[in-house]
Structure 1
Amino acid sequence: MKHLFTLLLFIPLFGFSQMALEQQLDSISTSDEATSFLKENKPKQGKLFTFNKEKHKTRLANDLFNLSKGGKKVIRTDFKKTYYKVIDKAEVDYIKFNIIVIDASKTTVEEAIEKRDKVLAQYKEGYRFKDLAKHYSTGRTAKKGGDTGWIKAGEMSAAFDEVAFNENHAIDDIFSIDDIENKKYYLAVKTENKTPIEEIVVLKFSENIE
């Protein structure tokens, strides 16, 4: 009987804590507020995610894209309750490139540029860019033939953005980028024009159910 009484006392307290948490989540409207919330409330149980409509095709992502800004989805299991709140929603410009990265960190700049010129000459002779990327590129996209997928300004270096995003390149134009600060020398081909893609910033927070 004593244990039952203790349990009955605990249930309202648990319900109150759940309500307080939901009220906190409802009050969050910016990424800065979400970051502060995570710092104050067990950051290991929460995270801010960015979902891109072209990159993320899961059922969860689809459900979240169907929510309006400020919308919330709750998934409950026997042991955990997970909240997903859409903090921001916008269309962001993305472009696709194929790139070859020549790393000058373990060689001289002159040797890196000479190697890039050699690759460019082979491309002009008719070699496929993706084959050259697989053979010569030191970047993480090499195995995919240099394909970056959809990327936005800020994902690469400032030097890359300055040339690739801010200059007017036509589809299939090949151009070079010198990222002197990071000792990387690129050959790049734009494969898709600038395209607005819907993107959402989502706050995820999980709470154990005891």
Structure 2
Amino acid sequence: MKYLLIGLNFLYLTVASSQNLEKINSIEEAESFIKLNPKAEITTLEISNDSLEYYKKRFLEKDIIDKYRIVKTEPIVSMRVSYIYLDGNKLTINKKRQEIIKLYKKGKSFGELATIYTMDSNFNKGDLGWFNEGVMHKTFEDAIKNHKKNDLFEVDITENKWYYVVLKTYDDLPKSIFYILSVID
């Protein structure tokens, strides 16, 4: 009898969960829902804004809506740059930085310069790869946001003695993060 009641209770929660997903409209409501339903979870999905409408429509289709619910959408920006890091504890920055900039303007590739001059362990010829705002030091991100693709610029984080020569390699990429409540059968 005990197992029958547990089974019926589980069945009730599963049926109730898919019927009630459409009533959940916030992260807080989703977290409360998860406490009552062990087969529910919140996951995130990053979507570039050019695909946003497709995914919004897709999550409204019948085969999706019973198991998934977007409970929050948040705009975010991804950025990509290449950089050369100079450690202010180990050398005089301005002279070295001007030397690097001069060589770049004479046609030396930024990747080659990064391989020669960077003082950290970036093995990707200075390419930082795509990263979302809020991940790097605020001063670094703010400088990137204030420049366009192919701009070469300097960033100083003096309190840490971090100094950079930065090449913005791509335009910023506006995206959205979907916070999705899902119920797995």
Q: Which TM bucket (shorter chain)?
A: 0.5 to 0.7
Matching of residue 157 in structure 1 with residue 148 in structure 2: no
CA separation of 1:138 and 1:27: change in aligned 2, threshold 3 A? farther
1:88 and 2:65 matched: no
For 1:188, the equivalent position in structure 2 comes to 166
What is the letter of the counterpart of residue 103 of structure 2?
Q
2:47 — aligned with what?
Answer: 52
How far does residue 132 in structure 1 lie from its aligned partner after superposition?
Answer: 2.1
Partner Cα distance (2:5, 2:31) in 1:
33
Structure showing the higher helix proportion among its residues: 2
Q: 1:10-159 maps to which residues of 2 (within 5 A)?
A: 10-22=6-18, 25-34=21-30, 40=35, 46-53=41-48, 67-68=58-59, 73=64, 84-89=68-73, 92-104=76-88, 107-108=89-90, 111-138=92-119, 142-159=122-139
Query: Cα gap change, 1:64/1:187 in structure 2, threshold over 3 Å: closer, same or farther?
Result: same
Structure 2: distance between partners of 1:181 and 1:47: 38
Is the contact made by 2:59 and 2:65 (CA closer than 8 Å) also made in structure 1? Answer: no
Among all aligned residue pairs of Structure 1 and Structure 2, give the percentage whose two residues are the same amino acid. 25
Contact 1:84 1:202 (8 Å CA) reproduced? no
Q: Distance in 1 between matches of 2:120 and 2:182?
A: 34
Kept in 2, the 8 Å contact 1:72–1:84? The answer is: no
CA drift of 1:14 comes to 1.2
Gaps of 5+ in 2: none
Q: Using the alignment, how far apart are the partners of 1:158 and 1:51 within structure 2?
A: 21
Selected match of 2:155 from 177, 197, 203? 177
Runs of 4 or more off by more than 6 Å in structure 1? none
1:102-126, Cα deviation, whole Å (9 max, x unpaired): 344xx25x53554434433332343
Contact 1:51 1:202 (C-alpha < 8 Å) held by counterparts:
no
Secondary structure of the residue aligned to 2:150 is coil
Q: 1:162 and 1:53, CA in 2 relative to 1: closer, same or farther beyond 3 A?
A: closer
When normalised by structure 2's length, the TM-score is 0.67
1:151 to partner: Cα distance: 3.9
Aligned length: 183
Identify if the C-alpha distance between structure 1 residues 92 and 23 changes in structure 2 by more than 3 Å, giving closer, same or farther.
same
From the superposition, tell whether residues 131 and 111 of structure 1 become closer, same or farther in structure 2 (CA, over 3 Å).
same
| Counterpart-to-counterpart distance in 1, 2:100 and 2:131 | 24
Q: Per residue, is there more strand in 1 or in 2?
A: 1
Cα distance change, pair 16–164 in 1 and its aligned pair in 2 (3 A): same
Which of 1 and 2 has higher RCO (CA within 8 Å, sep 6+)? 2
CA contact (8 A) 1:64 1:86 kept: no
